Chain A
Amino acid sequence: MIISGKVVVYNHDNISTDQIIPGPYAYIKDMKEMAEHCLEGADRTLRDRFRTVGNIFVAGSNFGCGSSREYAVIVLKESGVQAVVIKSAARIWYRNSVNLGLPVIFCKTLPDTIKEGEEIEIDFTAGTIREAATGIVHQGEGPSEFVMDMYKAGGIKPLMRQRMREKKQAEK
Chain B
Amino acid sequence: MAMHAVHKILAAAAGKEQVFPGEIITAKVDLVGINDVYQIVMKSFEEMAGEKVWNPNKVYIFLDHNAPASDLKVAEAHKLFREFAQEQGCHLIDINEGIGHNLLPEWGLAKPGSLIVITDSHTPIHGAYGTFAAGLGATDIAAVLIDGSTWLKVPEIINIRLNGKLQDNVMAKDAALYVLGQLGTEFGTYKVIEFSGPVVEALSMEERTVLTVMATEMGAKSTYIKPDKTTIDDVEKHTSEPFIVHETDPDFVYEKEYEFDLTELKPQVAVPHSVDNARNAEEVAGIPINQVFIGSCTGGKLTDIAAAAQVLAGKKIPSSMRLVVTMATKQIVAEAIEQGYYKILLDAGATITSPGCGACSGLLGGIIAGKERCVSTANRNFPGRMGGSLEAEVYLASPLTAAATAVNGTLTCPGRNGLEE
Contact with A along B118-162 (1 / 0, CB 8 A): 011101000000000001111110010011000100000000000
**CB-CB < 8 A to A135: which residues of B?**
none
Are B382 and A95 in contact, CB atoms less than 8 angstroms apart? no
**CB-CB < 8 A to B73: which residues of A?**
27-29
Q: How many residues of A contact B (CB 8 A)?
A: 40
Most buried by A among B136, B380, B382, B383: B382
Does A55 make an interface contact (CB < 8 A)? no
Identify which of A46-54, A60-68, A111-119 touches chain B.
Answer: A60-68
Does A90 make an interface contact (CB < 8 A)? yes
Identify which of B37-45, B88-96, B298-306, B347-355 touches chain A.
Answer: B37-45
Contact with A along B382-397 (1 / 0, CB 8 A): 1111011010000000
**Cα distance, A27 to B76, chains bound together (Å):** 9
Are B44 and A157 in contact, CB atoms less than 8 angstroms apart? yes
Closest to A161 in B: B49
**CB-CB < 8 A to B137: which residues of A?**
68-70, 73, 92, 95-96, 99
**Cα distance, A30 to B160, chains bound together (Å):** 43
Identify which of B165-173, B183-191, B402-410 touches chain A.
Answer: B183-191
Does B421 make an interface contact (CB < 8 A)? no
**Cα distance, A14 to B385, chains bound together (Å):** 13
Are B362 and A14 in contact, CB atoms less than 8 angstroms apart? no
Q: How far is the CB of B363 from chain A (nearest CB, A)?
A: 6
Are B139 and A91 in contact, CB atoms less than 8 angstroms apart? no
Are B40 and A18 in contact, CB atoms less than 8 angstroms apart? no
Are A92 and B382 in contact, CB atoms less than 8 angstroms apart? no
Partner of B121, one of A19, A26, A41, A68: A68
Interface residues of A in 6-20 (CB under 8 A from B): 14, 16, 18-19
**Cα distance, A156 to B137, chains bound together (Å):** 12
Are B24 and A100 in contact, CB atoms less than 8 angstroms apart? no
Whether A99 contacts B140 in the complex (CB less than 8 A), given A90-B219, A157-B47, comes out as yes
**Cα distance, A96 to B138, chains bound together (Å):** 8
Partner of B189, one of A71, A74, A88, A146: A88
**Cα distance, A91 to B186, chains bound together (Å):** 10
Does A160 make an interface contact (CB < 8 A)? yes
**CB-CB < 8 A to A163: which residues of B?**
147
**Cα distance, A5 to B37, chains bound together (Å):** 34
- Residues of A contacting B: mostly: helix
**CB-CB < 8 A to A62: which residues of B?**
185-186, 189, 219
**Cα distance, A22 to B397, chains bound together (Å):** 23
**Cα distance, A156 to B385, chains bound together (Å):** 30
Are A24 and B146 in contact, CB atoms less than 8 angstroms apart? no
Are A18 and B120 in contact, CB atoms less than 8 angstroms apart? no
**Cα distance, A54 to B185, chains bound together (Å):** 30
Most buried by B among A28, A62, A71, A95: A95
Are A88 and B186 in contact, CB atoms less than 8 angstroms apart? yes
Are A23 and B361 in contact, CB atoms less than 8 angstroms apart? yes
**CB-CB < 8 A to B44: which residues of A?**
157
**Cα distance, A155 to B143, chains bound together (Å):** 12
**CB-CB < 8 A to B380: which residues of A?**
16, 18, 66
Does A2 make an interface contact (CB < 8 A)? no
Are B219 and A23 in contact, CB atoms less than 8 angstroms apart? no
Interface residues of A in 27-46 (CB under 8 A from B): 27-29, 41
Q: How far is the CB of A52 from chain B (nearest CB, A)?
A: 23
Are B383 and A164 in contact, CB atoms less than 8 angstroms apart? no
**CB-CB < 8 A to A96: which residues of B?**
137, 139-140
Are A68 and B136 in contact, CB atoms less than 8 angstroms apart? yes
**CB-CB < 8 A to A14: which residues of B?**
185, 274, 382
Q: How far is the CB of A153 from chain B (nearest CB, A)?
A: 12
Are A65 and B219 in contact, CB atoms less than 8 angstroms apart? yes
**Cα distance, A28 to B66, chains bound together (Å):** 14
Are B77 and A16 in contact, CB atoms less than 8 angstroms apart? no
Q: How far is the CB of A168 from chain B (nearest CB, A)?
A: 9
Closest to A146 in B: B24
Are A69 and B37 in contact, CB atoms less than 8 angstroms apart? yes
Are A95 and B136 in contact, CB atoms less than 8 angstroms apart? yes
Q: How far is the CB of A159 from chain B (nearest CB, A)?
A: 8
List 26 interface pairs A-B (beta carbons < 8 Å), by A numbering.
A14-B274, A18-B362, A23-B362, A26-B363, A27-B37, A29-B73, A65-B219, A66-B382, A68-B119, A68-B120, A68-B121, A70-B38, A74-B40, A92-B137, A99-B139, A156-B139, A156-B143, A157-B47, A157-B48, A157-B139, A160-B48, A160-B50, A160-B146, A163-B147, A164-B50, A164-B146
Give the 9 A-B CB pairs with smallest separation, nearest first: A96-B137, A160-B48, A70-B137, A27-B73, A16-B382, A68-B121, A41-B384, A164-B49, A70-B138
CB within 8 Å of B: which residues of A? Answer: 14, 16, 18-19, 22-24, 26-29, 41, 61-62, 65-71, 73-74, 88, 90-92, 95-96, 99-100, 146, 155-157, 160-161, 163-165
